[in-house]
Amino acid sequence: MHASQGRSAGLGIALASAFAFGGSGVAAKPLIEAGLDPLHVVWLRVAGAAVIMLPVAWRHRDLVRSRPILLLGFGLLAVAGVQACYFAAISRIPVGVALLVEYLAPALVLGWVRFVQRRPVTRRAAVGVVLAVGGLACVVEIWSGLSFDVVGLLLALGAACCQVGYFVLSDPGGGDGADGVEPPHPVGVIAYGLLIGAIVLTLVARPWGMDWTVLGGDAGMNGTEVPAWLLLVWIVLLATVIAYVTGVISVRLLSPAVAGVVACLEAVIATVLAWVMLGEHLSAPQLIGGATVLIGAFIAQSSAPKAPSGPVASGGVSPEGADGGRGAAGGEPSAGGAARRGRPSPGQSAVM
């Protein structure tokens, strides 16, 4: 394959990954409104994807011995933590708003570096943080005293913090191949992260108490009734398994930086899908604020220290390593990285 053909294919796959991740909240919200607890929807998503990824986990079983901390961090924070907070958030606030709040993760990472680790950050990074925070103020319409549910906003912020936690707990730069240590295979990390997340969520969500009859009925999407089981297939297969795998492939065909830019479209896609399929409208100031958040998140991410080796989940933003040199994000931020993707490094999510 010629280089230009590879880039074209990579862009197409990166867009597919962003679209797949962006649709997770849109498919999950009708199930929650139909009567399922947000935690139960998260459990169905993660457990279903974990079962599908079992053969991959077996193939990369050496990761359990060589990178246990990375797997635990990814499973607990990037998978269970990010997804639980994100799905709980969208049960209270619009999908697009929740995902945009998650895009604060790169700015939070820089805050950790500057104020906790007391390491200097560049002026470019500071500009990115200011833009992200200022844009978020527009998204939540802070001048009107917060027009959205405060608990929902805090849950979305919790998803961003989980992505940052994964970044902090992981070994930044460890196992990236530069020191002779073989980087962990990102799909293997994803498979074990889903397995660990499924185990944790089983204990927390207690699915044996779930109203399983909801899955046999219909769920409303902006006045249209859709089979609940079809939405579940969308969440598990398209928004999780396919989203992660295409995210990894795209970063290998493109540079992490390019994949990360495309991954930022996840928030745009989620907002458009929520508008068309759920009837969730954002005002002009919120749309401008959302664009500002994405610009600030990208600047902050590109100025952040090297992300941990491994992907990050869903709902999320950043790009530095689905190929082992990329990092966490996610998520869901992101073709990359929350904790987003095959996703790369903190910020990209996740949700997603």
Percent of the chain with pLDDT over 70: 76
Q: Which residue has the tokens 């409104």?
A: 33
224 by Cβ neighbours in 10 Å (0-12 / 13-18 / 19+) ranks as: exposed
pLDDT at 200: 96
Residue range 305-334, pLDDT digits in tens: 554 444 544 444 443 333 333 333 333 434
Asked if pLDDT for residue 267 goes beyond 90, the answer is no
* 0.75 exceeded by pTM: yes
Is the model more confident about 182 or about 205?
Answer: 205
Q: What is the pLDDT of residue 307?
A: 47
Dihedrals phi, psi of 310, to nearest 5 degrees: 130, 170
3-class SS shares of the chain: helix, strand, coil, % to 5: 65, 5, 30
- How far apart are alpha carbons 171 and 328 in whole angstroms? 11
Q: Which amino acid is it at 140?
A: V
Q: Identify the DSSP state of 179.
A: T
- Greater confidence, 306 or 80? 80
Tokens found for residue 153: 């906003």
| 152 torsion bin: left (phi>0), alpha (psi -120 to 50), beta (else) | alpha
Instruction: Name the residue ranges covered by the structural domains of the chain.
Output: 1-176+183-302
Rg (CA), the chain: 18
Residues 244, 263: Cα–Cα separation, whole Å: 12
